[in-house]
């Protein structure tokens, strides 16, 4: 319950919806981490796959499960539960359409089940990137498409809810948490058009046998049209927490509300026309267009740096209010005993390395050194695997008690879990980065590879050790969350309280709330960056590569 | 009011270097690409993946000397092989790899000499590398291509000049 304009708004239905999304997200997290453990152990020389049949029929079957569950399902379901929750809380309004909210949830869950059946049955062992002409069962593509359609309905509900708020508040600035949630979903809606086109016009008709062939390059261009901005769809909800909740958890205030809005608008404009930086080594795309995308990728670095400054300055305001001193020493004065805050600050620390690595990946010809080596999963375990995942874990340390009304079962266990993740990931990711620089490929059953190099052997055990620590961390997490829900007897003392700002929304120019302009700029940049290449490929591609099952 | 001004100055002091850093890095990579000549693969045209056996140059995979110290390796990748899977050249050679895939997506990766290119069915890939030091350079498929992906490899054998 919370008050808004003198009226009390009952958000119990929204809370239940968030809880439902959270259950699916956590099941996916667990399944993905479990399959991930077997991969890490395999790299360290402990091949458990012979004992895992018939559940996991090969290394690559497990790898497909790991990628789809962790990178697609866990993130998407968490976000579709969390951002509507944040928006409703910040606006003090229920979702515009609760029935639509629940229909959306069941559509997404139904799609997930449809995709999971072939995935679990080893007839969609195509990894989370599902590059054709490798061909999965049609239900895999149709199911994932339904999940994407569901995310559009979440976006629609948020836009309608914001409109209802705007009608009552014609002159006010949109509250920052709601503003950021909307930007995230508008960004995603634009970005997801590539994936939707790939599914609807290529993969689904082809997997159903309606068309005979496909084209690897056109499919990859459409996939990465969505595939880079999807990382912002995962990351920006973590930023929502870092900007609007973490400063208060740290005992301080958000440094600058207008700067936060500027950085989100820049993400909206710049995050889609950058996908070729995943295709620097692809044939069929002229070098000049790749350079344009490299340039735009460097431009997206700018709002990331703004975020870095703003969030760290907010943390510093909290630490100084708690007696922190010095240029750096204040860092120790953060409330490290709060597992939710500790999780998110540690996520930020590792993300700094992820950001630097991301710049290296984006650096055009420097990408030749790292592309498709284990450097890349090393990188994305710092970004989606830590900046996003550890932040989401930190959020659940207050969100689950809030939704269930029960206090967190053990704060100490949660702290242990968080530090285990931090150290486990530091070891795991560092090892993968180093192995990548030694020329070890990603997505490969390395222990069984015929070209295993002697110099890799000294580092490979660290992959297994880091992965095991991460798995233990996850078990501690699920024990704690499970006991919170079933065994905790203490009532939760959690309120959703957004941070105030040192420089508040009253300093934000009104133009930042004008959506048409920013969306138009985003679309124009997409058309410039992708238009010529897509037009050429669509008009000239013969779609003549037949599909194959190669696993 | 005073606090607002201070925050504004802090923001500006951060924003200006935040623009300068990416611009500086961008200049560096343009210099290395077009000054030092370290290129990424570009558009080399198409080929019908179902007719490779009758399409030049992929009807005759192999290594061909195309000039003094210059070789062309015409390669076809498939599940789960490279043809040819052994390439012998003398030290100091420049090798142009012209390659494609006959089935699913593969990759051609030779660590340390910066050969890193995707092999897509229907598309011709062309990359150039120089092999100065004698020795064996393994090349591997670095894109998941099915159940035996980790067995797909070959090597460039660089022989000392006698």
Q: Cα–Cα–Cα angle for A179, A183, A184, nearest 5°?
A: 120
Is B33 in the same domain as B59? no
CA-derived radius of gyration, chain B = 22
On whether the CB atoms of residues A86 and A18 are closer than 8 A, the answer is: no
Structural domain total, chain B: 2
- pLDDT band at residue B7, thresholds of 50, 70 and 90? confident
CA-derived radius of gyration, chain A = 23
CA-based nearest distance B78→chain A, Å: 11
CA-based nearest distance B70→chain A, Å: 22
A495 touches chain B (CB under 8 A): no
- pLDDT band at residue B2, thresholds of 50, 70 and 90? low
Measure CB to CB from residue B43 to each of A286, A365, A369 and give the nearest one. Answer: A286
> B140, A369: Cβ pair inside 8 Å?
no
pLDDT > 90: percent of chain A: 93
pLDDT > 70: percent of chain A: 99
Is B117 in the same domain as B148? yes
- Chain B residue with Cα closest to A136: B146
The range of the structural domain enclosing residue B34 comes to 1-38
Tell me: the pLDDT tens digits for A63-114?
999 999 999 999 999 999 999 999 999 999 999 999 999 999 999 999 999 9
Q: Give the Cα separation of A307 and A263 in Å (integer).
A: 7
Mutate to test the interface with A, among B23, B36, B55, B122 (most CBs of A within 10 A): B122
- Chain B residue with Cα closest to A135: B104
Tell me: the pLDDT tens digits for A152-205?
999 999 999 999 999 999 989 999 999 999 999 999 999 999 999 999 999 999
Mean pLDDT taken over chain A? 95
Is B76 in the same domain as B137? yes
> B153, A451: Cβ pair inside 8 Å?
yes
Size of interface A-B (CB pairs under 8 A): 191
> A542, B149: Cβ pair inside 8 Å?
no
ipTM for the whole complex: 0.95
On whether the CB atoms of residues A431 and A460 are closer than 8 A, the answer is: yes
Mutate to test the interface with A, among B10, B129, B144 (most CBs of A within 10 A): B144
Q: What is the mean pLDDT of residues A285-314?
A: 94
Which residues in chain A have Cβ-Cβ distances shorter than 8 Å to B121?
133, 216, 545
A442 touches chain B (CB under 8 A): yes
Is B55 in the same domain as B28? no
Q: What is the mean pLDDT of residues A21-28?
A: 98
Question: What token pair was written down for A54?
Answer: 């018939």
Tell me: the pLDDT tens digits for B32-63?
888 888 899 999 999 999 999 999 999 999 99
Is B32 in the same domain as B72? no
Instruction: Say if residue B1's pLDDT is above 50.
Output: no
- Chain A residue with Cα closest to B149: A444
A208 touches chain B (CB under 8 A): no
> A443, B48: Cβ pair inside 8 Å?
no
pLDDT of residue B4: 61
Mutate to test the interface with A, among B34, B37, B43, B127 (most CBs of A within 10 A): B43
> A542, B122: Cβ pair inside 8 Å?
yes
Measure CB to CB from residue A283 to each of B33, B44, B144 and give the nearest one. Answer: B44
A356 touches chain B (CB under 8 A): no
On whether the CB atoms of residues A214 and A202 are closer than 8 A, the answer is: yes
| Residue B44, domain member (yes or no) | no
Is B17 in the same domain as B62? no
Instruction: Say if residue A2's pLDDT is above 50.
Output: no
Q: What is the mean pLDDT of residues A248-264?
A: 94
Instruction: Say if residue B5's pLDDT is above 80.
Output: no
- Please write down the long-range contacts of B10-19, taking CB distance under 8 Å and 24 or more positions apart: B10/A313, B11/A256, B11/A259, B11/A309, B14/A305, B14/A306, B14/A309, B15/A306, B18/A302, B18/A305, B18/A306, B18/A309, B19/A302
> A217, B122: Cβ pair inside 8 Å?
yes
pLDDT of residue A8: 55
Is B80 in the same domain as B22? no
> B40, A363: Cβ pair inside 8 Å?
no
Which residues in chain A have Cβ-Cβ distances shorter than 8 Å to B85?
none
> B144, A255: Cβ pair inside 8 Å?
no
A458 touches chain B (CB under 8 A): no
Q: Say whether A240 sits in a helix, a strand or coil.
A: helix
Q: Give the Cα separation of A421 and A404 in Å (integer).
A: 25
Tell me: the pLDDT tens digits for B71-125?
999 999 999 999 999 999 999 999 999 999 999 999 999 998 999 999 999 999 9
Tell me: the pLDDT tens digits for A128-157?
999 999 999 999 999 999 999 999 999 999
- Predicted model pTM: 0.96
Which residues in chain A have Cβ-Cβ distances shorter than 8 Å to B79?
548, 550
Tell me: the pLDDT tens digits for B118-149?
999 999 999 999 999 999 999 999 999 999 99
Instruction: Say if residue A447's pLDDT is above 90.
Output: yes
> A217, B147: Cβ pair inside 8 Å?
no
3-state helix, strand, coil in chain B (%, to 5): 25, 40, 35
| DSSP letter string, A489-526 | -SBP-----PPPEEE-GGGS-GGGG-HHHHHHHHHHHH
| Residue B43, domain member (yes or no) | no
Residue B138 belongs to domain with CATH number: 2.60.40.420
Measure CB to CB from residue B29 to each of A313, A366, A445 and give the nearest one. Answer: A366
Question: What token pair was written down for A231?
Answer: 């990382």
Is B82 in the same domain as B119? yes
Question: What token pair was written down for B64?
Answer: 């061909």
Is B28 in the same domain as B79? no
A253-291: buried (b, 16+ CB within 10 Å) or exposed (e) per residue? bbbbbbbbbbbbbbbbbbbbbbbbbbbbbbbbbebebbb
Is B33 in the same domain as B69? no
A353-389: buried (b, 16+ CB within 10 Å) or exposed (e) per residue? bbbebbbebbbbbbbbbbbbbbbbbbbbbbbbbbbbb
Tell me: the pLDDT tens digits for A46-67?
999 999 998 999 999 999 999 9
Instruction: Say if residue A4's pLDDT is above 50.
Output: no
């Amino acid at each position: 319950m919370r008050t808004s304009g003198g009226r009390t708004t009952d958000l119990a239905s929204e809370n239940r919806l968030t809880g439902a999304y959270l259950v699916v997200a956590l099941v996916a997290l667990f399944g993905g981490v479990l399959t991930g453990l077997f991969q890490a152990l395999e790299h360290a020389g402990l091949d458990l796959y012979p004992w895992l049949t018939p559940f996991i029929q090969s290394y690559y079957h497990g790898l497909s499960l790991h990628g789809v569950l962790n990178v697609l399902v866990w993130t998407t379901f968490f976000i579709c539960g969390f951002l509507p929750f944040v928006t409703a809380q910040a606006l003090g309004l229920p979702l515009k359409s609760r029935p639509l909210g629940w229909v959306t949830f069941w559509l997404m869950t139904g799609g997930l089940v449809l995709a999971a059946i072939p995935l679990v049955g080893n007839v969609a062992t195509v990894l989370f990137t599902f590059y054709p002409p490798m061909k999965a069962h049609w239900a895999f593509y149709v199911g994932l498409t339904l999940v994407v359609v569901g995310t559009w309905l979440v976006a629609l509900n948020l836009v309608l809810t914001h409109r209802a708020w705007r009608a009552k508040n014609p002159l006010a600035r949109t509250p920052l948490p709601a503003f950021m949630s909307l930007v995230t979903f508008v960004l995603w809606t634009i970005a997801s058009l590539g994936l939707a086109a790939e599914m609807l016009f290529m993969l689904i008709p082809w997997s159903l046998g309606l068309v005979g062939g496909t084209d690897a390059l056109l499919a990859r261009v459409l996939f990465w049209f969505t595939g880079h901005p999807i990382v912002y769809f995962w990351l920006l909800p973590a930023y929502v927490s870092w900007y609007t909740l973490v400063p208060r958890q740290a005992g301080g205030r958000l440094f600058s509300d207008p700067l936060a809005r500027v950085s989100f608008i820049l993400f909206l404009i710049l995050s889609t026309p950058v996908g070729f930086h995943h295709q620097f080594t692809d044939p069929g795309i002229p070098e000049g267009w790749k350079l344009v995308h490299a340039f735009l990728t460097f431009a997206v670095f700018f709002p990331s740096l703004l975020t870095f400054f703003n969030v760290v300055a907010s943390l510093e305001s909290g630490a100084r209010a708690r007696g922190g001193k010095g240029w750096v020493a204040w860092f120790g004065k953060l409330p490290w005993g709060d597992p939710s805050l500790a999780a998110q600050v540690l996520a930020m620390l590792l993300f700094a390395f992820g950001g630097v690595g991301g710049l290296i990946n984006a650096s055009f010809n420097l990408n030749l050194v790292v592309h498709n080596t284990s450097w890349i999963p090393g990188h994305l375990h710092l970004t989606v695997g830590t900046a996003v995942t550890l932040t989401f874990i930190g959020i659940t340390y207050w969100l689950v008690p809030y939704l269930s009304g029960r206090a967190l079962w053990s704060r100490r266990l949660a702290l242990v879990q968080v530090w285990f993740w931090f150290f486990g990931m530091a070891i795991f990711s560092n090892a993968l980065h180093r192995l990548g620089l030694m020329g070890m490929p990603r997505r490969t059953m390395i222990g069984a590879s015929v070209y295993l190099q002697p110099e890799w052997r000294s580092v490979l055990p660290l992959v297994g050790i880091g992965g095991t620590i991460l798995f233990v961390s996850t078990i501690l997490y699920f024990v704690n969350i499970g006991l919170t829900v079933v065994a905790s007897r203490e009532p939760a003392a959690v309120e959703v309280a957004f941070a105030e700002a040192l420089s508040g929304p009253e300093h934000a120019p009104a133009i930042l709330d004008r959506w048409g302009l920013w969306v138009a700029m985003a679309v124009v940049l997409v058309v410039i960056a992708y238009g010529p290449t897509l037009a050429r490929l669509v008009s000239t591609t013969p779609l003549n590569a037949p599909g194959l099952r190669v696993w | 009011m005073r606090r607002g001004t201070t925050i504004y100055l802090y923001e500006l002091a951060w924003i200006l270097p935040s623009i300068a850093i990416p611009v500086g890095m961008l200049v560096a990579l343009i210099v290395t690409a077009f000054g030092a000549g370290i290129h990424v693969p570009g558009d080399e045209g198409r080929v019908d993946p179902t007719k490779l056996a009758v399409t030049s140059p992929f009807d005759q995979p192999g290594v061909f000397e195309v000039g003094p110290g210059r070789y062309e390796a015409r390669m076809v990748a498939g599940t789960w092989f490279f043809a040819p899977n052994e390439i012998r050249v003398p030290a100091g050679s420049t090798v142009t790899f012209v390659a494609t895939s006959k089935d699913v997506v593969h990759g051609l990766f030779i660590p340390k000499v910066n050969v890193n290119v995707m092999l897509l069915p229907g598309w011709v890939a062309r990359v150039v590398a120089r092999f100065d030091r004698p020795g064996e350079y393994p090349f591997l498929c670095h894109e998941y291509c099915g159940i035996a992906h980790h067995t797909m490899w070959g090597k460039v054998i660089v022989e000392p000049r006698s």
